[in-house]
Amino acid sequence: MKAIDAIRIALKFSDMAMTHLGSMHDAPLLRPGEWGGNHAMWIAGHLAVCEGRLQQILHGGPNPLHDWKPLFDWGSEPVDDAAAYPPFEEVMQALRDLRQQTHAYLNEVSDEGLDQPTNCQPPGFGGFETVGAAIQIIACHAIGHMGGMTVVRAASGKERLFVPSQELREF
């Protein structure tokens, strides 16, 4: 297997999470329980800001969602006031658009380009030195947030993300 194929698998898995995250449009501020936790709005916005940061790292320009950083970036906390956030569909669309840019960039760079240095790295936060590492980290970060999203979906009464067939259960 080539490294680019492993990155594509991680992106595909996290893309699946985005699809399920988008289905929370009817309850974007629902918390997973009385103990708090991240709601779908914060997860979507956080992933969008991080995907924007990836574009910043790869291309060297500003994060296209810089203005959303106070709401969704490192150190932010979800709030329960819908007026504090952009519309959920706008956040989801920004996330989808930025992820599409990531896929397009990966298609352009090919396997040989994964070891290229990135244009910039977050200060004091290693791991983003090469194109391949940066894309893989962002894909895996999104996968990490799938757990929280799964709990929020369960709290909303939505179907599980994966419902195995009888054949798979017997396997």
Q: Provide the domain count of the chain.
A: 1
pLDDT at 93 over 90: yes
CATH number at residue 102: 1.20.120.450
Minimal CA–CA distance to 99: which of 3, 7, 2, 1?
A: 7
pTM of the prediction? 0.94
pLDDT of 19 reads 86
Q: What is the per-residue pLDDT for 40?
A: 97
Domain that holds residue 45: 3-170
Res 41 pLDDT > 90: yes
Across the chain, what does the average pLDDT equal?
Answer: 95
pLDDT at residue number 14 = 92
